[in-house]
Structure 1
Amino acid sequence: MNRRVLVPIAVLLSSAAFPLTITGASVALPGLADDLAASPTAAQWVVTGYNLCFAAFLAFGGSLADLLGKRRLYVSGVVAFLLGSALCAVAGDVGVLVAARLVAGAGAAVATATGQSLLAATFDGRARARVFGALGTVLGAGVALGPTISGFLVDLAGWRAVFGVPAALAALVLLLCPALPAVPGAGGGSVDWLGGGLFTLGLGALIWVSVEAPALGVAHPAVLVGVLVVGAGAIAFARVERRRAAPMFDLALLRDRAFLGYSLVAATMMGLLVPLLVYLPSYFIDVIGLDPTEAGLWMLLLTLPSVLLPGAGAALSRRSPRLLSVGAILVSAVGVVALATIGPGSTPWTLLAPLLLVGAGVGVTTGVVDGLAISSAPTERAGAAAGLFNTARLTTETIALATVGSALTSLAGGQLAGEGFTDALRVVVIALGCLGIVAAVGADALLREKSV
């Protein structure tokens, strides 16, 4: 088969598996927590650990691919994802499951970065635009349909199937890899190991503190050490990146108000959406009493707009990018606050407006603010802008997941079930929505300044 056909098939298949295993884990959480006797904190790591490694290794993946060769790194990433996901599917202990999720997240990050590079190296012009459009559709569909597909899988074969199916997709991708173009690395370059290592250390410490502090107490010595590591890591990272000739992250881009504003928009949207993707299915199952399939179907109210509305968002952005960006945050933030009406007697009709509002705000910005942010940077720095933009978004998403999970566990008295879960969720969505409104004000100030 022609390589120009095999490359998009392989990359699109792997790209479908990665978001499926993110959102799918949320539907699997109640079942795996019961089966493995996992505490709420341990269950948090099943989701947060994957996102942590995805965010930390995404930039590493791109740098290594440029140096060592794109196909080699792509295959390595798919193999790591396959092994991690397969181990998740057979894990008999929550510690093993979390470790496997870390491996799968790192593999997914490397394969994502190198897969996109393979597409760019194989196609150009209109063909490249079409194939990247297909990639965006697959990623959006994976996020949107992940809870629904996972609900069916859990009802059909149990929570382990949520990890087994992505592993099977990765195995299928590996069969196609020998036919992919080699695309050798440039050689002679270098990877910013120190900057990347400091970023990973600081992010890991921040997530650890966010997850563990409620259980250990903020005055616990380990928590205090974690806070010191976060602060020292952040300072050292900023100094290293400023002095590097070829830094992993071009922090000078943050002086561009438009780039910073659009990055804030994207990060805020993920910070509002992803915690709901993870914790609402658990609420639907444990409190409202739905089965996993029903919970997945209810989640379509939240996720389908992200597939259906990007075209409308692109049209709106041509009229007023600032109005689209700020308005989308406000719409989603209002929807998040409106979720405070949730309760054991909630129905799809009572949750229709809040979920659609959140999804609509996310939908009109999906892919659109990415283009606005990267286009705001000089052409010669577009690659660096894309790397920093995506890492900022993923980092915010990971921090939001960890913080919301810890807040829910703490407010609910350590048990995400019953009346305590309802009260905790109401407090969290109000706080989350208010933070979204604050972010909208900040984004408006940054983007308005640019237009003056």
Structure 2
Amino acid sequence: MPWVLAAVCLAGLAMPLSFTGPAVVLPLLREALGGSPVGLHWATNAFMLSFGAALMAAGALADNVGRRRVFLGGLLLAVASGAALACAPNLLVFNLLRGVQGLAAAAALAGGSAALAQVVQGTARTRAFGWLGASFGAGLAFGPLAEGLLGDSLGWRAVVLLPGLVSVSAFAIGAWRMPASRSIAATRLDGAGTLAFTLALGLLTLGVLQAPAHGWGTAQVVVPLAGAALAALLFVRTEARLLRQGGQPMLDMTLFRYPRFVGVQLLAAAPAYGFVVLLVLLPIRFIGLEGRSSWEAGQLMLLLSGPILLMPGIAARLVGRWSAAAVCAAGLVLCAAGLLWLGRCGPATGVRGYAGPLLAIGLGVGLPWGLMDGLAVSVVPRERAGMAAGIFNTVRVAGEGIALALVGAGLGALLADQLGHAFPGAGPAAAQAAQRLATGDLAQALALLPGATRADLLHAYALAFGRLTQVLAGVTLATAGVVFLFLRTPDLHGAEGQLAAGQG
């Protein structure tokens, strides 16, 4: 078991490195590959979109053809896509390869998680998946710092190669020690459901990303959003029909009869708006706009994500005294307070000024982060834990992709509003400058607004960012209340006892 756990944890470490890398080196990518603001947003969103869309399908594939095979195949694809990314000639090719990289991550996570679940049972399973969560946390905590230093010294290509190097180690251990396994009860893959789900996510993301540049009422936005709604409806109908026919759908709708299961899905989406979007927005702000070094930006990001490494053990001890509902809700309330505090930080704020809000957000998110993986497989009957884990991971990853698109579009709209008021005669140039600012391209934003100074644009950005954090804090607080209500229902499956025993 230790070798299987090591292989899966190394694969887990590679995933946040894949996610954060392009955000850290976005200014370098823009200089090397060019591209529009929407194209630069896709450098991050393409990975999250394909990752989230493919996760449940990859889990079903692992059950059908073998967990070890899917895990190792995903790692090989991760290595190959990372090498191809380093050779991308333009941003379009880079973004397409980022989509491939997301597929690889989905296969590695789904296959590895399923294989790990076969070799550990009981509280040992909770402990093993806690280590997997810690590996994600380590990647989030130290990844931006390492990637920033790599980008400064060796360029953006070294950054996109880093996850592949970690995946090579995971592949070597997995090929050596991971046993082969598959589900004897597995049925054929849900192709129609997979296609409908992927279309819904892709069209939703496309519509949201195009809104700042074209407007919410234009055909470029309305058509994709309408298509996403139709694809989502088709997905729900397809899954319901397959379940009635005795098949194996990607999404078992009957699990939503369990209130605690619903609460866990809401909990899975909560960090996206209070924490994950900051992993993309803050490096752009620190490096691209405020002109900080990669080392200083990495230190600031460590203050944000470092607490995730420390909080799972603390959360498990707290669950021994209070309910998981209370611990998770308290963490989200602290995160919301940190977001409001962060919104008050201006462009001249030093590391000490940022430390308080970033630590508050990291500590707050760390409480539910340390519990939700264990809750995901414990709030439903044991025989349905695999499906529950697949749904949970899909909600988490897909929710992060949607959050990135929505928050990026929201920041662009807030910036356009601020610049429109600051420069009333700028006209369409203000909206274009807003999109450039949102991707950290301060020089191009200044060129679009003659007479504007760097201080003017940084002030406008700080005001827009402050309004954005108010919205994010509101979403996080509302989620805290709803999660508390759902998770406080009777614990019929011993989830909290397993959490305390497995992580203590």
TM-score range, shorter chain: over 0.9
> Is 1:42 the equivalent of 2:63?
no
CA distance in 2, matches of 1:312, 1:380: 29
CA distance in 2, matches of 1:305, 1:264: 22
What amino acid does structure 2 have at the position aligned with 1:436? Answer: T
Q: Deviation at 1:216?
A: 2.2
Q: Deviation at 1:308?
A: 0.7
- Check whether the contact 1:337–1:434 (CA below 8 A) recurs between aligned residues: no
Decide whether aligned partners of structure 1 residues 266 and 95 sit closer, same or farther in structure 2, where only a CA change above 3 A counts: same
Candidates 111, 118, 121, aligned match of 2:118:
121
Q: Count the aligned residue pairs.
A: 449
- Check whether the contact 2:208–2:221 (CA below 8 A) recurs between aligned residues: no
Point out where structure 2 has 5 or more consecutive residues left out of the alignment: 416-433, 443-456, 492-504
CA distance in 2, matches of 1:321, 1:177: 34
SS of the residue 1:414 aligns to: helix
- Check whether the contact 1:41–1:406 (CA below 8 A) recurs between aligned residues: no
SS of the residue 1:377 aligns to: coil
SS of the residue 2:377 aligns to: helix
TM-score (ref. length: structure 2): 0.84
SS of the residue 2:156 aligns to: coil
Decide whether aligned partners of structure 1 residues 442 and 184 sit closer, same or farther in structure 2, where only a CA change above 3 A counts: closer
Q: Deviation at 1:152?
A: 1.4
Candidates 13, 17, 20, aligned match of 2:10:
13
- Check whether the contact 2:72–2:175 (CA below 8 A) recurs between aligned residues: no
What amino acid does structure 2 have at the position aligned with 1:99? Answer: L
Alignment of 1:15-414 (within 5 A): 15-124=12-121, 128=125, 131-179=128-176, 180-184=178-182, 186=184, 189-244=187-242, 245=246, 246-318=248-320, 319-412=322-415, 413-414=434-435
Q: Deviation at 1:57?
A: 0.8
SS of the residue 1:341 aligns to: coil
- Check whether the contact 1:14–1:173 (CA below 8 A) recurs between aligned residues: yes
Stretch deviating more after TM superposition (382-391 or 212-221): 212-221
Q: Deviation at 1:175?
A: 4.0
> Is 1:415 the equivalent of 2:417?
no
Q: Deviation at 1:304?
A: 0.9
CA distance in 1, matches of 2:16, 2:68: 21
The residue number in structure 1 matching 2:484 is 444
- Check whether the contact 2:65–2:182 (CA below 8 A) recurs between aligned residues: yes
Stretch deviating more after TM superposition (150-159 or 114-123): 114-123
- Check whether the contact 1:32–1:38 (CA below 8 A) recurs between aligned residues: no
What amino acid does structure 1 have at the position aligned with 2:210? Answer: E
Q: Deviation at 1:226?
A: 0.8
Stretch deviating more after TM superposition (104-113 or 359-368): 359-368
- Check whether the contact 1:59–1:387 (CA below 8 A) recurs between aligned residues: yes
Stretch deviating more after TM superposition (247-256 or 121-130): 121-130
Stretch deviating more after TM superposition (417-426 or 251-260): 417-426
**What is the Cα-based RMSD across aligned positions, in Å?**
2.1
The residue number in structure 1 matching 2:466 is 426
Q: Deviation at 1:131?
A: 4.0
SS of the residue 1:271 aligns to: helix
- Check whether the contact 1:241–1:248 (CA below 8 A) recurs between aligned residues: yes
CA distance in 1, matches of 2:67, 2:377: 22
Q: Deviation at 1:358?
A: 0.7
What amino acid does structure 2 have at the position aligned with 1:65? Answer: A
CA distance in 2, matches of 1:173, 1:360: 29
SS of the residue 2:189 aligns to: coil
Q: Deviation at 1:433?
A: 0.9
Deviations 1:82-137 (Å, cap 9, x if unpaired)?
22211212212010110110000111111111012222334456765554343222
Q: Deviation at 1:6?
A: 4.5
Stretch deviating more after TM superposition (186-195 or 234-243): 186-195
SS of the residue 1:445 aligns to: helix
Deviations 1:380-410 (Å, cap 9, x if unpaired)?
2111111111111112111111111122233
Q: Deviation at 1:423?
A: 2.7
The residue number in structure 1 matching 2:423 is none
CA distance in 2, matches of 1:74, 1:82: 13
CA distance in 2, matches of 1:434, 1:304: 24
Q: Deviation at 1:188?
A: 6.2
Structure number, greater radius of gyration: 2
TM-score (ref. length: structure 1): 0.93
SS of the residue 2:436 aligns to: coil
Deviations 1:392-450 (Å, cap 9, x if unpaired)?
11121111111111222333321224424323222211111111112222223333455
- Check whether the contact 2:210–2:220 (CA below 8 A) recurs between aligned residues: no
- Check whether the contact 1:377–1:385 (CA below 8 A) recurs between aligned residues: yes
The residue number in structure 1 matching 2:447 is none
CA distance in 2, matches of 1:188, 1:297: 47
- Check whether the contact 2:308–2:370 (CA below 8 A) recurs between aligned residues: no
Decide whether aligned partners of structure 1 residues 446 and 117 sit closer, same or farther in structure 2, where only a CA change above 3 A counts: closer
CA distance in 2, matches of 1:421, 1:159: 26
- Check whether the contact 2:22–2:29 (CA below 8 A) recurs between aligned residues: no
Percent identity, please: 37
SS of the residue 1:343 aligns to: coil
Decide whether aligned partners of structure 1 residues 320 and 184 sit closer, same or farther in structure 2, where only a CA change above 3 A counts: closer
Deviations 1:52-88 (Å, cap 9, x if unpaired)?
1111111111100110112221222112212221121
CA distance in 1, matches of 2:339, 2:251: 32
